[in-house]
Chain A
Amino acid sequence: MYAYDELDRTLINERVSEFRDQVKRRLSGELTEDEFKMLRLQNGVYLQLHAYMFRVAIPYGTLSSQQLRRLAHVARRYDRGYGHFTTRQNIQYNWIKLAELPDALADLAEVGIHAMQTSGNNTRNVTSDQWAGVAPGEVEDPRIWSELLRQYTTLHPEFSFLPRKFKFAITASEHDRAAIKVHDIGLRLHKNAEGETGFEVLVGGGLGRTPFIGKTIKPFVPGRDLLSYVEAILRVYNQYGRRDNIYKARIKILVHELGIEKFAQEVEDEWLQMRDSALTLDDADVEEIRSRFTYPVYEQLPHMPDELKQAAHDPHFEAWRKNSVAPHKVPGYAIVTLSLKPVGGPPGDATAEQMDAIADLADRYSFGEIRVGHEQNLALPHVARRDLPALWRALDKIGVATPNVNLVSDIIACPGLDYCSLANARSIPIAQELTRRFANHDTANLIGKLHVNISGCINACGHHHVGHIGILGVEKNGEEFYQITIGGRADEHAVVGTLIGPAVPYAEVADVVEDIVEAYLALRERPDELFIDAVKRLGVEPFRERVYATR
């Protein structure tokens, strides 16, 4: 956990008082809605279909129990008792009142949480691997660098009015859980031949209406040069990114139009003029940030304690353990994923009561720490394996132990037309119906790893392009239709999915997904050939045939 110091606290309090003044000026009419719009967006406030929506940052997905309790408090005090965890390690509240927003922000600021730059045309919440610091085999904890970037990007005087939004993601593991290839800047932490820590820098990834997989702009940027290199990219983008068309304003379009070589040269020219500047991070600077992170003092514990051996007789426990418990870098400990995808529930939602209960469990079993992943689930990152049975019973009681992590019902979905003013179609009811269709755990387990992603419009907040099965809501003659893609993925082998055929109406989406799954079960070479691998081997044709043969 990163602990705020007096300077961090002062800055977010100053931001709250600035926003309070902006809201006051809006309510008095001194600010027009057009002027206020950009100001509120820079603080995570959208005007949605029914009310203001408020998006709060959870930088690199790390929360303390105290912070999670405060998120619960905001849900209870200012909203309707629940919050929605998003695909970018944020939480959204859907029913907030404008006049109460400054108070909600002040309550959050007390525990070191802010909503700065969770929307607007600026550098957004820096995201990372939700298993950072605990995943076996990690190069080093990417959150140190994430925090350096969080501070660097927060209220940046040059880059707060970019052509369009700008998203960073960082990973330090070989297996990319942070989806760095679909971010404006993706950073892969690794060591060069001399053992020096640095980053492979990718640029121009992104989803939305024109999906692109990020391209490597520089295979190794030493850690000390990270901020100057990032500043060079942002400066080139700020000056040359398109501002004439909102749909062509992301950096991916600039990279595409210039070509990666030309773009890389522009960045290099800029960087060479400023790499030795105040932005250079010496070891002491990095150490200063590192020293503000606290780590648990782990005990020496057995890998296979008696508690675990006994619980292994309970098939329900075993189903959950096999599904939701992952190896930890420290023997005797585990990483536990909490599914926020109950059968019939909206993906990623948690009630205030659940958040409070999870905070208590984190205190008891996970050194007071909680993680938020882009898959819209939570995790307890430091659980002693002997505590797994007791933790499971407690999680099950509050409905976050559905053993469906990474399975077909672990659906990523945007809020869709139920909340969002941009949406063309509903997402949540589609997800809910799919979780009912695949509610049988044995069936889901037989199908194996399968990511379903649903977006209610082309803006792709549900990351449908990179779902193994992607579902995109569109509008046709006033009705909700859905385009289905297959074969997408967001990890280190990221690729955009392929459309299987004409869009299908709302009522048929779940049937189509069932058809695709049945086709896969019939076609896979062996039980451990994953859906995504079968699609890669076979192409979309056999799936297309199956789906459209009877439609």
Chain B
Amino acid sequence: MPLVKSGKITNDGFVHVADDDPLPEGGAILISAARFLGDPETLSRRAGGTGVIWPNNRDVDDLVPYLDRLAVVALVFPTFRDGRAYSQARLLRERYGFRGELRATGQVLRDQFVFMLRAGFDAFEVRKASDAEAFTNTAKRYSVFYQPTGDGRLTALHRRMQLRHSESASQ
């Protein structure tokens, strides 16, 4: 499954480790929330970098104390119809100030890219190769946004107000 990061298809530097597999000595790992919460102090201080796969039916509050030590938080779309992880993503980015990689996993299709980018995701485990290849073009599909989110894109209302101010300034 291709990983898209910074707009490009890249190799996944994180190894998914199943709950009953031993942890490697070094290297970056991606583990389940259950495993992580078993020993969060140790696991979040691993040298190689730790990522946590956080389920979409658990409050992100439990993850908040460790956020600044995590390299990756992977949120889950069990199907693309289930939009809970969009709220989790915005909370992590906008309320709790998570700066690491926020990864979308599960049924990730091209038609969600813009929503996900706006919610704060910056890495995508994309189901179909054709969708991964279409990432750059799809991400550019919209140039107008009605809602303010933490992604910094200006809203239509904001642009109108700017226009209004510049018009009144030039008069």
A residues in contact (CB < 8 Å) with B: 5, 7-8, 10-11, 14, 17-18, 22, 30, 35, 38-39, 121, 151-152, 154-162, 235, 238-239, 243, 273-274, 277-279, 284-285, 288-289
Q: How far is the CA of A14 from the CA of B139 in the complex (A)?
A: 12
Are A10 and B144 in contact, with the CB atoms below 8 A?
yes
Docked CA distance A7–B149 (Å): 18
From A10, A11, A239, give the contact of B87 (CB < 8 A). A239
Given contacts A151-B156, A157-B86, A239-B87, contact A10 B95 (CB under 8 A): no
Q: Which residues of A contact B111 (CB under 8 A)?
A: 18, 22, 39
- Extra contacts, 16 of them, besides A8-B144, A157-B149, A239-B84 (Cβ < 8 A), are A5-B160, A10-B144, A11-B142, A14-B142, A18-B141, A30-B130, A38-B80, A152-B147, A155-B114, A158-B119, A159-B83, A159-B86, A235-B87, A238-B86, A239-B59, A288-B164
A159 to B86, CA, bound (A): 8
Question: Mask for B154-165, Cβ within 8 A of A = 1, else 0?
Answer: 011101110010
Cβ of A273: which chain B residues have Cβ within 8 Å of it? 95
* Among B86, B90, B118, B119, residue most surrounded by chain A Cβ atoms (within 10 Å): B86
B residues 57-83 touching A (CB-CB < 8 Å): 59, 80-83
A239-B84, A288-B161 as given contacts; A157 in contact with B147, CB under 8 Å: yes
B157-A161 in contact (CB<8A): no
Contact in complex: B81, A161 (CB < 8 Å) = yes
- B60, closest chain A residue (CB): A239
Taking the closest CB of chain B, its distance from the CB of A231, in whole angstroms, is 9
Contact (Cβ within 8 A) A160 B141:
no
Contact of B81 among A121, A277, A288 (CB under 8 A): A121
Give the residue of A17, A30, A39, A277 whose beta carbon is less than 8 angstroms from that of B148.
Answer: A277
**23 A–B contact pairs at CB < 8 A?**
A8-B144, A8-B156, A14-B142, A18-B111, A22-B111, A30-B130, A35-B109, A39-B111, A151-B146, A151-B156, A152-B146, A155-B114, A155-B115, A158-B86, A159-B83, A161-B82, A161-B83, A162-B83, A238-B84, A239-B59, A277-B148, A288-B160, A289-B157
B134 to chain A, nearest CB (A): 9
Partner of A157, one of B81, B82, B119, B156: B119
* Chain B residues positioned under 8 Å from A11 (CB to CB): 142, 144, 146, 156
> B141 to chain A: which residues have CB within 8 Å?
14, 17-18
Contact across chains for B87 and A155 when beta carbons are under 8 A apart: no
Question: What sequence of 0s and 1s flags, for each residue 84-104 of chain B, a beta carbon within 8 Å of any chain A beta carbon?
Answer: 101110100001000000000
Q: Does B143 contact A (CB under 8 A)?
A: yes
Rounded to whole Å, the gap between the CB of A36 and the closest CB of chain B is 10
Asked if residues A161 and B86 are in contact (CB atoms below 8 Å), the reply is yes
Are A285 and B161 neighbours in the complex by a CB distance under 8 Å? yes
Q: How far is the CA of A139 from the CA of B145 in the complex (A)?
A: 30
List A contacts of B114 (CB < 8 A).
155, 157
- For B157, what are the chain A residues with a Cβ–Cβ distance below 8 Å? 151, 285, 288-289
Does the CB pair B143–A157 fall under 8 Å? no
A349 to B87, CA, bound (A): 40
Asked whether A157 lies within 8 Å of B115 as measured between CB atoms, the reply is: yes
B51 to chain A, nearest CB (A): 22
Contact B146 A155 (CB under 8 A): yes
The contact string, 1 if C-beta is below 8 Å from chain A, for chain B 118-150, is: 110000000000100000000001111111110
In the complex the two chains form, what is the Cα distance from A11 to B146 in whole Å? 9
Cβ contact within 8 Å between A238 and B148: no
Q: How far is the CB of B53 from chain A (nearest CB, A)?
A: 18
Residues of B within 8 A of A238 (CB): 83-84, 86-87
Question: CA of A155 to CA of B115 in the docked complex: distance in angstroms?
Answer: 8
The answer, among B81, B130, B147, B156, for a CB contact under 8 Å with A7, is B156
Compute how far the CA of A278 lies from the CA of B157 in the bound complex, rounded to whole angstroms.
11
Instruction: Indicate whether A243 sits within 8 Å of B156 (C-beta atoms), given known contacts A158-B90, A277-B148.
Output: no
Question: How far does the Cβ of B30 sit from chain A's closest Cβ, in whole Å?
Answer: 23
Shortest distance between the CB of A376 and any CB in chain B (Å): 29
Tell me the minimal C-beta distance from A138 to chain B in angstroms: 25
A30 to B130, CA, bound (A): 9
Residue of B nearest to A282 (CB): B161
A7 near B148 (CB under 8 angstroms)?
no
Most buried by A among B83, B86, B87: B83
- Write the nearest CB–CB distance from B97 to chain A, whole angstroms: 13
Who on chain A is nearest to B89 by CB?
A: A158
Complex: chain B residue closest to A30, CB-CB: B130
Given contacts A14-B141, A14-B142, A38-B81, contact A284 B161 (CB under 8 A): yes
Contact A157 B118 (CB under 8 A): yes
* Shortest distance between the CB of B91 and any CB in chain A (Å): 8
Bound together, the chains give a CA A157 to CA B164 distance in angstroms of 27
Q: Which residue of A lies closest to B59 (CB)?
A: A239
